[in-house]
Chains A and B, each alone.
Chain A
Amino acid sequence: MTQVLLNALVVGTTYALIALGITIIFSIMKVVNFAHGQLYMIGGFVVYYFNVVFGLPFWFGLLMSFVIVGALGIAMELFLFRPVMLRVKREEVTMLLAMGTAVFLESLALIVFGEKQRGVPPIATGIVELFGARLPTGRVVVIVVAALLIVALMLFIGYTKTGRALRAMAQDRDATALQGVNLKWLSAMGFGLGTGLAGLAGGLLVAIFAVHTGAGTAVSIKAFLMIMIGGAGVLSGAILGGFVLGVLESVGYALLPGSMTFLIIFLIVIGFLIVRPHGIMGKPWG
């Protein structure tokens, strides 16, 4: 059982990191970013290229995954979402735009990065044994870094001027604009932060998993599951949703036949959403 709990901790932490970026974009822009998984995938490839192909340190690659995918997000906001949202108020248009972007990024990635799965050398070697359960040191490092990143983001959002402006914009754009906040700059920054986090998650997790160009769709689906459980647009909800899904997945695999695990998870989520459609920490009014 210790192994199952450790598995849940690792899966939950990684899921929480993945869910944060998508919920930031949703809360600020009200855009359901279906390309989140593809941005995660690009983050993984950025680290792979810096670390394996160019021979630079993993941590530098990780920083670049945030910078490059964040810049990509800013470009997406400036040249795709902003012009469309200025002209159209219907939400499904941005959803379709995000879906199109996802397909485009995945197809482009296949051409640029090729069909093979990629991995990086281990960032730490050895195994930590806890009450008979095994936890590779690389996973310990990833959990610690992911937790630090989550804390840093919460502090940034909660206690910096920019973070407060982002929260204010998520609550009421007009009122925020009346306070003299530059919404155009803030929107681009918020979108870049969200996508940068996707890149960071992909870059960090390539250290313990692997990445391939088709990885994005499944990541997006799980990210949506997490924010639906935790509450769309709420940062703490995304983290909670990540951990809930991680626990459900790990415990489910331990107790149920493999083919039943996600069937049961989806049933639980459907049942839960009927009772509480706004998720654990979301608000009924949005």
Chain B
Amino acid sequence: MKSSGIKVTLLVRALALATTAGTFALISLAQANETLKIGALGVMSGPFAGWGGVMCQTSKTRAAMWNDDGGVAIGDKTYNIEVVCVDDKGDPKGAQTGAEKLVSEGIKYIQGPNTDSTAESAKAVMEANGTINMPYAFSKSLYKAPASQSILGMVASYQVGPVIYKWLMDNKGIKKIAFVCENNADPLNQRNEGTAAAKTLGLEVVSDQETYESGTTDFFPVLTKVIGTSPDHIVLSGVNPSDVGPLIKAARELGFTGTMSTETGQDPRAIFEVAGEAANGFIVAGGASTEAIRSDFMVKFIERYTKDWGEWNDVAGLYVYGPEIIVQTLQSTPKALDDTEAFKAALDSFVGKNPFLKEGGELKYVGRQDYGQSRQVSVPIVVQAVKDGAYEPLFVGKLPD
């Protein structure tokens, strides 16, 4: 009896000791992890919140996945990733002060901004402080020398636009094309580039001067004129996520039966919810998470994003490439943690693994053809069409080196 009592006491003590030791081990493990801050600077409110807001949420979710797995090993240390989001409200001044705020916190790698005007404005801060940023803006001056700090995080409209138009010419027989966009610098730039590309391909541009003001609710007036020119295809240049559904719906209600497309990232469920069946067939370039091509890891990311933010947004499938390639590059070049010159030096030779595609493949920096230097993430060119609230891929391509 006494012997068994001693055994129980010993067992309790051993358990207490083990628990204490385990707790200390966990605490010391947690303490061993340093923190790597990554910035997210973009438009997180207003009509464009579907871009910057999702970018911030995407980075936070990816960071949480890394942290849950014990952190990211870079060199001989392990880091927890902390994402610091700043809303520039789509305002160039906001982008500049936002960039300064992130830089003042010692952040060397920033995802965003989301538009040409904000990215151009933030560029001065990035270049002066040697901060690397990953805009989702297409202005070539951001990526061409002498600029060196910005890396395009997606496929540019002038890269994918001609590919879509050519596909439509070959597969749908389109001959006449119209462009409509918001009266704003970014969409106007994209429209001009699209118009030039369409003309080069031999398409007849029947309308390219019609624009609408930011905040327009009823698109009937502007589309009445566009559709009156009898185009086979309408391009919604640089359309923001809040306008795309109403534009498609209005065009179909006005009797337009041709094809429609955009080159900016969009969420198919949101489009379908607003435009209903009229959205079917709408062609979008972007989103790299289409069911047909995504890996199990992307599925896991989608589940986690949905858990974190309540609902999946297809644009997140594109934004997740940003933190992924930054972290992979840092892992391959630990010196770049403190020295972005080392990061830039690694851009030409870095080859990582793409965890988001079913077929795997390389994750690297491209852009030499368009920008003269490796300043673009090698996201796949995925051209897809909306079908009942989801995307079905039309074709998948690769960016040239």
Residues of A within 8 A of B (CB): 3-4, 7, 10-11, 14, 52, 106-107, 110, 114-119, 121-122, 127, 134, 136, 139, 205, 208-210, 212-215, 217-219, 221-222, 249-250, 252-254, 257-259, 261-262
Chain B residues with Cβ below 8 Å from A121 are: 276
Q: A116-B313, A252-B221, A258-B222 are in contact. List 17 more A-B contacts (CB 8 A).
A: A7-B224, A14-B217, A14-B218, A117-B270, A117-B273, A210-B246, A213-B49, A214-B45, A215-B215, A215-B217, A215-B242, A217-B215, A218-B215, A219-B215, A253-B225, A258-B211, A261-B213
| Chain A neighbourhood of B217, CB < 8 A | 14, 205, 209, 215, 218-219
Residues from chain A with Cβ under 8 Å of B180 in the complex:
258
Taking a contact as CB atoms closer than 8 A, the residue among B50, B224, B249, B254 that contacts A116 in the complex is B50
In-complex Cβ contact of A218 among B216, B224, B241, B255 (8 A) = B216
Interface centre among A14, A134, A221 (most CB of B within 10 A): A134
Known: A115-B54, A115-B313, A117-B241. A110 touches B45 (CB 8 A): yes
Q: A116-B267, A121-B276 are in contact. Are A215 and B47 (CB under 8 A)?
A: yes
User: Would A10 and B46 count as touching, CB distance under 8 A?
Assistant: no
CB-defined contacts of A258 to chain B, threshold 8 Å: 180, 183, 209-212, 222, 225
Question: Which of the residues A14, A52, A217, A253 comes within 8 Å of B222, measured between beta carbons?
Answer: A253
B148 CB to nearest chain A CB (Å): 32
Near A by CB (< 8 A), chain B positions 20-63 give 44-50, 53-54
**Contact across chains for A254 and B221 when beta carbons are under 8 A apart:** yes
Please measure, in the bound complex, the distance between the C-alpha atom of A117 and the C-alpha atom of B267, giving whole angstroms.
Answer: 10
- Contact check, A259 vs B183: say whether CB atoms are below 8 A apart: yes
Complex contacts, A107 vs chain B, CB 8 Å: 45
Q: Which residue of A lies closest to B56 (CB)?
A: A115
- Chain A CB within 8 A of B311 CB: yes
Count class of interface residues, chain B? 35 or more
Chain B residues with CB under 8 Å of A136's CB are: 253
B276/A122 in contact, CB under 8 A: yes
Q: Are B222 and A214 in contact (CB under 8 A)?
A: no
A222 to B217, CA, bound (A): 11
Question: Is B274 among interface residues, defined by CB-CB distance under 8 A?
Answer: yes
Contacts of A118 in B (CB 8 A): 270, 273-274
Residue on B nearest A4 in the bound complex, by CB: B224
6 chain-A/chain-B pairs, Cβ below 8 angstroms: A106-B45, A114-B309, A116-B270, A117-B50, A210-B245, A210-B274
7 closest cross-chain pairs (CB), A and B = A218-B215, A119-B274, A214-B46, A258-B211, A253-B221, A115-B49, A214-B47
List B contacts of A122 (CB < 8 A): 276
Q: Which residue of A lies closest to B215 (CB)?
A: A218
Does B146 sit at the interface, judged by CB under 8 A? no
Q: Does B167 contact A (CB under 8 A)?
A: no
In the bound complex, what is the Cα–Cα distance between A219 and B213 (angstroms)?
12
Tell me whether B275 is interfacial, beta carbon within 8 Å: yes
Using CB atoms, name the residue of chain B closest to A210.
B274
Given A110-B53, A115-B49, A117-B241, also A254-B215 (CB < 8 A)? no
